[in-house]
């Protein structure tokens, strides 16, 4: 998709939530974050910790990666956001668009080279694995699917959801995971496109926004999503949730944090980024069932809640720079062939 078209997908998100928060907090204790949704990766809990420990208010924000990137590009000459949380491909694109500031936070040297920009434009804070986030109760007796192929069966017609890959990073991540599992490569998305065309015949639900609550309510019984959301639903919200790493395999992906170039509250923004990569900040991600980017001790009671290592043995990584380079081409193909 051309950048102009990409911008149009996200630019119309309003700033009323952020402006309302700004009016309630002085510039001395405020950081505006784009894409810090309360129901994703337990940002609500992390923001609460930041307030308690740093006395900095970070308003929650429900944009996705694509919408956030579009917004900061549009606001390039007069930035509103201070920090932005992005999927890895959006972070790499934002670097190309020169909308990110340069900051190498505390503990920088502990972060693997492939999980940070050499100039400090972005740094991974955690990662997650794509799989099936299943509300077993909402299946009403149907078996929990165990593979990508299972989702194409007539019995799951109208029960499967995935986020729109032309906008949300998790949607693209899901498509890449399917593609790799079906024998595709980052140079050949034919297997994923063929799969999604078949899935379209099974009437999938394709939201643009994070859909955690819709899975818990049973509105979307099966969502292609990250493991941390499923574990949260099962263990924090005590819903009848299962997480499945499809038997054909899957992929793990990092999420990043960046200082926005020209951030209005730059000093506070740097403190927040430092906090997210601190021992306490990283431990919070682990307690939210994410894999921290730094090596921190994960409590045994949390580690035991993950699927066994034998399941995660089916999970691979990809070349993240190439992943970003191929996203626009995949989005065009998806819109032309599937949407």
- Per-residue confidence (pLDDT) for residue 4, from 0 to 100: 42
Residue with tokens 């999927």: 87
Phi-psi region of 273 (alpha: psi -120 to 50; beta: other; left: phi over 0): alpha
> Domain 128-252+308-337 adopts which CATH fold?
D-Maltodextrin-Binding Protein; domain 2 (3.40.190)
How many angstroms separate the CA atoms of 173 and 291, rounded?
A: 16
- Summarised one tens digit per residue, pLDDT across range 165-189 is 998 889 999 999 999 999 999 999 9
Q: Which residues contact 324 (CB under 8 A, 6 or more apart)?
A: 88, 89, 91, 92, 93
* Residue of 274, 269, 309, 273 whose CA lies nearest to 291: 309
- Summarised one tens digit per residue, pLDDT across range 230-256 is 999 999 999 999 999 999 999 999 999
> Domain 3-127+254-303 adopts which CATH fold?
D-Maltodextrin-Binding Protein; domain 2 (3.40.190)
* Residue of 265, 254, 188, 285 whose CA lies nearest to 30: 265
Determine contact, residues 229/133, Cβ cutoff 8 Å.
yes
Tell me the pLDDT of the chain averaged across its residues.
91
Q: How confident is the model at residue 26 (pLDDT cuts 50, 70, 90)?
A: low
Determine contact, residues 41/144, Cβ cutoff 8 Å.
no
How many angstroms separate the CA atoms of 27 and 189, rounded?
A: 46
Backbone angles phi, psi at 225, to 5 degrees: -155, -175
How many angstroms separate the CA atoms of 16 and 76, rounded?
A: 19
Residue 13 has pLDDT above 50, yes or no: no
Q: Which residues contact 44 (CB under 8 A, 6 or more apart)?
A: 38, 60
pLDDT-above-70 percentage for the chain: 92
* Residue of 19, 28, 87, 96 whose CA lies nearest to 59: 19
Residue 9 has pLDDT above 60, yes or no: no
Domain spans, the chain: 3-127+254-303, 128-252+308-337
How many angstroms separate the CA atoms of 290 and 120, rounded?
A: 22
pTM, 2 dp: 0.82
Q: How confident is the model at residue 28 (pLDDT cuts 50, 70, 90)?
A: confident
């Amino acid at each position: 998709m051309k950048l102009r078209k990409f911008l149009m997908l996200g630019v119309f998100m309003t700033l009323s939530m952020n402006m309302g928060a700004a009016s309630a907090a002085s510039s001395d204790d405020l950081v505006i974050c784009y894409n810090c949704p309360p129901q994703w990766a337990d940002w609500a809990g992390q923001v609460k910790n930041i307030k308690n420990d740093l006395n900095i208010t970070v308003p929650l924000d429900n944009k996705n990666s694509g919408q956030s990137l579009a917004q900061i590009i549009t606001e390039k000459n007069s930035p509103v956001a201070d920090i932005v949380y992005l999927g890895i491909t959006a972070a790499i694109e934002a670097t190309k668009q020169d909308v990110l500031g340069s900051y190498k936070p505390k503990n920088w040297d502990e972060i693997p080279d492939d999980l940070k920009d050499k100039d400090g434009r972005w740094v991974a804070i955690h990662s997650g694995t794509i799989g099936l986030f299943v509300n077993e109760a909402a299946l009403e007796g149907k078996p929990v699917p165990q593979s990508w192929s299972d989702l194409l069966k007539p019995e799951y017609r109208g029960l499967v959801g995935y986020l729109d890959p032309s906008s949300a990073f998790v949607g693209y991540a899901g498509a890449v995971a399917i593609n790799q599992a079906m024998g595709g490569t980052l140079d050949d998305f034919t297997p994923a496109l063929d799969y999604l065309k078949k899935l379209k015949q099974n009437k999938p639900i394709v939201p643009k926004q994070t859909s955690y609550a819709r899975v818990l309510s049973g509105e979307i019984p099966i969502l292609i999503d990250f493991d941390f959301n499923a574990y949260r639903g099962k263990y924090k919200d005590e819903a009848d949730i299962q997480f499945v790493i499809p038997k054909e395999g899957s992929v793990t992906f990092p999420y990043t944090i960046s200082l926005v170039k020209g951030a209005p509250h730059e000093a506070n923004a740097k403190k927040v980024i430092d906090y997210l990569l601190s021992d306490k900040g990283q431990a919070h991600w682990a307690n939210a069932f994410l894999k921290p980017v730094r090596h921190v001790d994960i409590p045994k009671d949390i580690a035991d809640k993950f699927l066994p290592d034998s399941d995660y043995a089916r999970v691979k990584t990809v070349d993240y720079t190439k992943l970003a380079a191929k996203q626009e081409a995949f989005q065009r193909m998806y819109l032309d062939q599937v949407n």
